[in-house]
Amino acid sequence: MYKVFVNNTPIILSTKKSIDEFETIHIKEVEFSTVIKDILKKEDQGKEAKYHFYHKSEEKLLEHLYSKLPVVIAGGGKVYNANKEILFIKRNGKWDLPKGKVEKKEDIESTAIREVEEETGVSNLEITKFLYKSYHVFKRNGQFKLKVTYWFEMKTDYSGALIPQKEEGIMKVKWKDTQKSKKALKDSYANIRQLFSHKYLS
């Protein structure tokens, strides 16, 4: 099962033929722009949209998903310092984690490290493990696109200044302990909250 987020509303993708209370559409027949507009409309009305895209083959499910919208591949980091604090950025009024799109001939691990460095000023980064891929829809130049972000857990011994990349709309960079991370996640995005265990979300 996969979740594709439109703002904080997840579209469920699975190999199940139906899910209770969700409107199921075979992914071949999906008009993505119509679904996105309906989700945004319902969000504005304070209602919840429940969509489920189905295909019997998991491989085909993703293949069709990638054919529905232009795809942007990105890499990002959930970064820990020596005090086990987590690195957060504030962009567009929300707490987020550093990430950005892959450049030509760049592997995804290099993308993730470069983007963390550029957006926060933090260096000496080491990837400790791959976490998962997140999927979300965004609008750029009047066109809906699908961002697929590869998230990595990282560690660093960096203790220098934090420098927000303001030209990318980042206003703050902060190290946050467990308590402050929990608070930040209440003012974050659903696809970011997926990177944290239940203890952070309760």
Task: State how far the Cα of 118 lies from the Cα of 98, in Å rounded to an integer.
Answer: 9
DSSP letters, 156-168, are: E---S-----GGG
Q: Which of 126, 129, 130, 128 is nearest to 116 (CA)?
A: 126
* Predicted pLDDT at 197: 76
What is the model's pTM? 0.91
pLDDT tens profile 105-142:
999 999 999 999 999 999 999 999 999 999 999 988 88
Task: State how far the Cα of 188 lies from the Cα of 9, in Å rounded to an integer.
Answer: 13
Sites in the chain below the pLDDT cut of 70:
198-202
The CATH number for 78-201, chosen from 3.40.50.970, 3.90.79.10, 1.10.645.10, 3.30.390.50, is 3.90.79.10
pLDDT tens profile 81-100:
999 999 999 999 999 999 99
Q: Which of 170, 34, 148, 43 is nearest to 96 (CA)?
A: 170
Angle at 88 between CA 87 and CA 89, to 5 degrees: 130
Contact residues for 21 (Cβ-Cβ < 8 A; gap 6+): 50
* Predicted pLDDT at 200: 60
How far is the CA of 159 from the CAs of 10, 167, 194, in angstroms? 37, 23, 27
* Residue showing tokens 């707490």: 95
* Predicted pLDDT at 183: 94
Residues of the chain with CATH 3.90.79.10: 78-201
| Residue 56 DSSP code | S
